[in-house]
Amino acid sequence: MRKSVLIVLVFLVAFQANSQSLSEKEKQIIQYIDLHLPVAEKLLIETVNINSGSLNKEGVRKVGAIFSKELEKAGLHSEWVPLPDSLNRAGHLVAIRNGKKGKKLFIIGHLDTVFEPDMPANPWKKLNDSTATGQGANDMKGGDVIAIAALQALESMHLLDDATIVVYFTGDEERAGTPVSVSRKDFIERAKRCDVALGFEGAQGLHSVATARRGSSSWKLSVTANTFHSSGIFKYGYGAIYESARILNEFREQLSTEKYLTFNPGLIIGGSDVNYDESKASGQVIGKSNIVSPSCYVSGDLRFLTEAQKESARNKMKEIVAKHLNGTKAEIKFTDGIPAMEPTEGNNIVLQILNKVTKDMGIGETIAGDPGSRGAGDISYVAKYVDCLDGLGASGNGAHAPGETINLKEFPYLIQRAAILMYRLIHAD
């Protein structure tokens, strides 16, 4: 028996054994989702086959228009939030309904992908009975469709009546328009009026979700030094390249063992004559082995689980930079990026609700995944205002790379999981 078929049979047996834990309405939700699964898959295929790279504004808007109609079917009123032309981004899709019942939900997705039109095309293709490939199939058009299909199932049974829901699909998650104080202003303001944020970024299987995600920021190290003939090295100074090497090595020695903290020097350029173009992340350099380098430039990222961890790391890095080898000077500058989604008790409470859902479905236990295994995401912008769960979207492999895949066997269970979680949050006492 093929492994994928065996997995499905195990799920079905487990569901039958545990279905008594689901209410009659919840069983009906699952029946609706199973009946309408072909519709959800058709929606996924249609949108995957539209290129919506972050800079492809027309493509992003086209995907947004399709999802807008589907969210209207779920009883939500949709609108397009434009961004200033200076940001060179398409804007965001928002769909809302207002009520007074249960938790106010803020549902997060994004319309864009990392695949721009000038990259090789990767249209939808079913590889076997359990796997398909396509640009954004996993990250995150699959997640968007899961959220939409779950909402449509609830609306069909009038289970969204008097509920407050904000669905916010950004158009530039993969390459946020800058400044983010503009591109995420409306996103943050709407989230503040809600109780729980549910992010539909890719799932790491059926048994793990994110209660925390690391934040990201950047740093730039500029080093200058006295320059002279190489015969005087160490006597008259060490040069900019040795100073840069010292700094980077001390970063590694003093900070690399701290859990969830990473800092990657992604570019280094040094020599006698350095020209660096930050907008293109490229440069030109002239250097000779008999000239002590007068300048060096390094840029990198810094990832962290909490704001306290970020600030502590920055302070240590500043201290290391300030030591200065003889004949050198160095300066480091930090730029904030996406904040951390810190682990909180509120996030754990939402996880407990989801864990009960998956146990009642017969899927098994759901636990908090490793925050170090995920990058930063839109949910982090609102994590300090509301309780959060992320990783509720589609499962698969190879996100951000050619050949990205989605797991079709887990797809219906993830829709069911999302729908019942929303139902229980909305109808909580």
pLDDT digits (tens, 9 = 90+) for 207-248: 999 999 999 999 999 999 999 999 999 999 999 999 999 999
| Residue 215 phi, psi (nearest 5) | -90, 170
Same domain, 273 and 262: yes
Domain endpoint, select from 338, 370, 387: 338
Same domain, 201 and 52: yes
Same domain, 386 and 322: no
Confidence of residue 344 (pLDDT cuts 50, 70, 90): very high
At residue 277, the pLDDT reads: 87
Domain endpoint, select from 338, 363, 397: 338
Q: Provide the strand spans (E) within 190-294.
A: 196-199, 208-209, 215-225, 262-271, 273-277, 282-286
Q: Is residue 388 part of a domain?
A: yes
Confidence of residue 279 (pLDDT cuts 50, 70, 90): confident
Domain endpoint, select from 288, 318, 338: 338
**Mean pLDDT value of segment 353-381:** 93
| Residue 73 phi, psi (nearest 5) | -65, -25
At residue 204, the pLDDT reads: 86
Q: Is residue 2 part of a domain?
A: no
228 token code pair: 């002279």
Q: Is the pLDDT of residue 11 over 90?
A: no
Q: Is the pLDDT of residue 13 over 60?
A: no
At residue 349, the pLDDT reads: 97
Q: Is the pLDDT of residue 331 over 60?
A: yes
Same domain, 70 and 147: yes
Q: Is residue 33 part of a domain?
A: yes
Same domain, 409 and 354: yes
Same domain, 177 and 60: yes
**Mean pLDDT value of segment 112-124:** 94
Q: Provide the strand spans (E) within 278-401.
A: 282-286, 295-304, 328-338, 367-368, 387-389
- The total of other beta-carbon atoms located within 10 Å of residue 260's CB is 15
Q: Is the pLDDT of residue 391 over 90?
A: yes
Same domain, 171 and 266: no
Place of tokens 């990783």: 391
**pTM (2 d.p.):** 0.88
Q: Is the pLDDT of residue 383 over 80?
A: yes
Confidence of residue 104 (pLDDT cuts 50, 70, 90): very high
At residue 429, the pLDDT reads: 66
Domain of 240 in residue numbering reads as 216-338
Residue type, 90: A
**Mean pLDDT value of segment 253-272:** 96
Count Cα atoms within 13 angstroms, Cβ side, for 32. Answer: 21
Same domain, 277 and 299: yes
At 17-26, the pLDDT tens digits run: 455 599 999 9
48 token code pair: 């995957």
For the chain, how many structural domains are there in total? Answer: 2
Confidence of residue 281 (pLDDT cuts 50, 70, 90): confident
**Mean pLDDT value of segment 53-77:** 98
Same domain, 175 and 322: no
Q: CATH code at 77? A: 3.40.630.10
At residue 370, the pLDDT reads: 93
Confidence of residue 375 (pLDDT cuts 50, 70, 90): confident
**347 vs 210: CA distance, rounded Å:** 9
Tell me the torsion sign for CA atoms 282, 288, 294, 299.
Answer: positive
At 186-198, the pLDDT tens digits run: 999 999 999 999 9
Lowest mean pLDDT among 65-69, 96-100, 275-279: 275-279
Confidence of residue 5 (pLDDT cuts 50, 70, 90): very low
Q: Is residue 366 part of a domain?
A: yes
Confidence of residue 312 (pLDDT cuts 50, 70, 90): very high
Q: Is residue 133 part of a domain?
A: yes
Evaluate whether 406 touches 126 at the Cβ level (below 8 Å): no
Same domain, 325 and 386: no
Q: Between 279 and 63, where is the model more confident?
A: 63
Q: Is residue 376 part of a domain?
A: yes
At residue 2, the pLDDT reads: 43
| pLDDT-above-90 percentage for the chain | 89
Place of tokens 């699964």: 37
Question: If you write DSSP's letter for every residue of 118-178 in order, what string do you get?
Answer: TSPP---EE-SSSEEE-TTTTTTHHHHHHHHHHHHHHHHTTTTTTEEEEEEEES-STT--S
Same domain, 305 and 371: no
Same domain, 63 and 209: yes
**Mean pLDDT value of segment 64-71:** 98
Question: Which residue(s) pair with 285 in the sheet?
Answer: 274
**367 vs 365: CA distance, rounded Å:** 6
Q: Is residue 291 part of a domain?
A: yes
Q: CATH code at 259? A: 3.30.70.360
**174 vs 156: CA distance, rounded Å:** 33
Task: Name the average pLDDT for the chain.
Answer: 94
Question: Which residue(s) pair with 126 in the sheet?
Answer: 132
Q: Is residue 322 part of a domain?
A: yes
Residue 130 per-residue DSSP state: S
**376 vs 341: CA distance, rounded Å:** 8
